[in-house]
Amino acid sequence: MANEIYTISHQDMSWRGHPYRVFMAMPRLGQTRQDNMTALYILDGNAQFPLAVNAVLAHWTPLPQADKATQATELPVIVGLGYPEDKAYPLAARTRDYTYAAPGEAFAAGGGAADFYDFLRYKVRPYIHRQLTTDPDRQILAGHSFGGLFALYVLLNHPDAFDNYVIGSPSLWWGNGAIVSGADGRAPSILGQKKTMSEEEIVESGRRTAVSGRRAAGSDTAAATVGNTYPVVGKNTRVTILQGEYEENPKADPAMTPERLARMAQRRSPINARSLDRWLQAQGVHSEFTLVERSGHGGVIPATISAAVRDALKQQGR
């Protein structure tokens, strides 16, 4: 069924010495050419790209009495960001790419989030845009665990890169929770700060549509000049955060062991996902929280993908 509505392929790429595999599901539009398609970007693409495609089939209701090409106009583009490996979750690569730089030996294997963001923005998104014109205002980023942490990193550092963020069970413990310092009220809030644009960013903001598929600064952000500041999060940005019931309350998990509980206690963060949602809302961000009942960390993956796919279908069908 998926092959009837999607052309599914992959493209191997490299960025700053690291190999990647980009999985793509492009709607079979035929002669019914349509611009401004919604694009859903899924992290951990080796494992979660096929789950996302299957989720589309589960949630999508085809137009009655319409040919396949017309039906395909209601489908989003799906992009899975993965690696040319057989492993579903290549641990070393995803640790490097999805985490921000943090002090301490425990976090030495990470720190590549800035480079991976550049890969996504300057190489992947322009490539996708050339294959099938995507709407700069209908771009969704979804990730779970380390992938959720990376989605949060992009939200806080490059909030205009995507319109919607779906963040499942983010690894807030990374860097001892430094990415959300201030979320507990003890330090200045990251989202409350203004950011000064560098000269390079200003040049880039003028060509966002051509390079990365995002529109230039307009209704949601003030026109920028060197030294000026701009709002960190646009008023139309939407965030969905998910966490498992047993992540929030590990002792309620019937499969929990003392050893696992001790390991979880070592991964400290100033807040959990529910508190992150409240923190974002306090900063004026349109954020929603979903508690996935009777689920632990891994059990949140299907719910994260379903939320992202439903969002993408809604945007494409509007």
| Angle, vertex CA 168, rays to CA 129 and CA 9, nearest 5 | 35
How high does pLDDT run on average in the chain? Answer: 82
Burial class (CB in 10 A: 0-12, 13-18, 19+), 155: buried
Q: What is the pLDDT of residue 255?
A: 87
Overall CATH class of domain 2-193+232-317? alpha beta
What's the rounded mean pLDDT across residues 4-31? 92
Backbone angles phi, psi at 244, to 5 degrees: -80, 150
Q: What is the pLDDT of residue 242?
A: 98
Least trusted range by pLDDT, from 145-149, 180-184, 186-190, 268-272: 186-190
What's the rounded mean pLDDT across residues 159-184? 88
* Ramachandran quadrant class, 22 (left: phi over 0; alpha: psi -120 to 50; beta: rest): beta
Q: What is the rounded distance in angstroms from the CA atom of residue 115 to the CA atom of residue 51?
A: 26
What's the rounded mean pLDDT across residues 106-126? 97
Q: What is the DSSP letter of 223?
A: P
Q: Closest Cα partner for 81 from 118, 41, 121?
A: 41
Q: What is the pLDDT of residue 186?
A: 39
State yes or no: pLDDT of 201 exceeds 80: no
Backbone angles phi, psi at 38, to 5 degrees: -75, 140
Percentage of residues of the chain with pLDDT beyond 70: 78
Burial 87-103 (b: 16+ CB within 10 A, else e): eebbeebbbbbbbbebe
* Contact call for residues 262 and 288 (beta carbons, < 8 A): no
pTM summary value:
0.83
Residues 33-61 pLDDT 10s: 567 899 999 999 999 999 999 999 899 87
Q: How confident is the model at residue 65 (pLDDT cuts 50, 70, 90)?
A: low
Give 186 or 32, the one with higher predicted confidence: 32
Q: What is the pLDDT of residue 266?
A: 79
Q: What is the pLDDT of residue 269?
A: 78
Q: Domain spans of the chain?
A: 2-193+232-317
What's the rounded mean pLDDT across residues 15-22? 98
Q: Which helix (H) or strand (E) holds 181?
A: none
Residues 207-265 pLDDT 10s: 433 333 343 333 232 222 222 232 356 668 899 999 999 999 988 888 888 888 888 77
Tokens 């590990």 map to which residue?
250
Q: What is the pLDDT of residue 246?
A: 93
